[in-house]
Amino acid sequence: MSLYIGRETSKLWKRICAETTTEVNLLAENWKYILGGLICQYIHGVAARGVHYIHRPGPILQDTGFFLLPELGQERAYVSETVFSFVFLSFVLWTFHPFIFKTKKIYTVLIWCRVLSFLVACQFLRIITFYSTQLPGPNYHCREGSRLATLPRPDNPLEVLLIIPRGVLYGCGDLIFSSHMIFSLVFVRTYQKYGTRRFIKQCAWVIVVIQSLLIIASRKHYTVDVVVAWYTVNLVVFFVDRKLAELPDRSAAVLPLSKDVRMKEENVKHVNSNPGDSTDWRLRGQVNGKINEDSNIVHVDVLDSV
């Protein structure tokens, strides 16, 4: 038993090392995109922090969602955050699954380059939107009478640039459209395209719908913030995805056939009198390792070294 465990542990370690080498090479080629995406995340946080200074509390606007959904209350505000944290952490873990599992369809670095491009495009539109019009925040700490509803004038630039943790947890004014929905919808749409489990895809969409309702019931956003996020994020991802080069599908690699097998297939082909069959030519192209794509394919696994 101990010998079997040791053998499997050794295989897992070799797999992790091989995957790490591949991902490091990809990171060396694409680090500018990753760094740029992370910098844009920080810029988005600073922008949300800045709009808090000009936020003015006022009466909560009339909202259909507030009328239809019961208010969870301030003591249950953690429910929507818990659901969002589950979606966020689940997606992050999934992007790193090639390091552990043999069934590999994505590259971690390339998938995050794609995800960050979606996030940056959506957040750019979000910054323009919430700086155009500031609505009185419906969240409890943004209402009239709360000392956190309006930030005092900053004494130095560091107060604006330092966004963690108060700027993330107690922001006001950055309402249209919901940042939580941006992340959740981008993650779910990415898994919808590159994931392999149909049941998980269905559950993911159900969870995002539930999260939308919880955000409104927690009074963290108006209904319009969630509705605008649903169609804006989906449209942005759709159009940006069409402009990006398609990711190489690691599971599409075809194992090379031996010489005897190829000769046998050619004999069968001549017997059946189908020398010009288009399907045969496509298979030959895959067997010979020729990939006719315009996109920049960095690496394709043909056979798991383990």
User: Of 164, 191, 165, 197, which is closest to residue 88 (Cα–Cα)?
Assistant: 191
From its phi and psi, is residue 219 left (phi > 0), alpha (psi between -120 and 50) or beta? Answer: left
Which residue of the set 44, 52, 55, 221 is catalytic? 221
For residue 234, the tally of other CB atoms under 10 A from its CB is: 13
Task: Based on the residue annotation, tell me whether 299 is a catalytic residue of this protein.
Answer: no
Tell me the residue type at 148.
L
Which residue of the set 52, 55, 174, 225 is catalytic? 225
Task: Based on the residue annotation, tell me whether 225 is a catalytic residue of this protein.
Answer: yes
Task: Based on the residue annotation, tell me whether 180 is a catalytic residue of this protein.
Answer: yes
Task: Please tell me the distance from the alpha carbon of residue 18 to that of residue 205, in angstroms, as a whole number.
Answer: 34
Which residue of the set 180, 249, 260, 301 is catalytic? 180
Q: Which two tokens stand for residue 158?
A: 């560091």
Residue 53 contacts residue 154 (beta carbons within 8 Å): yes
Task: Please tell me the distance from the alpha carbon of residue 288 to that of residue 41, in angstroms, as a whole number.
Answer: 43
Catalytic residues: 180, 221, 225
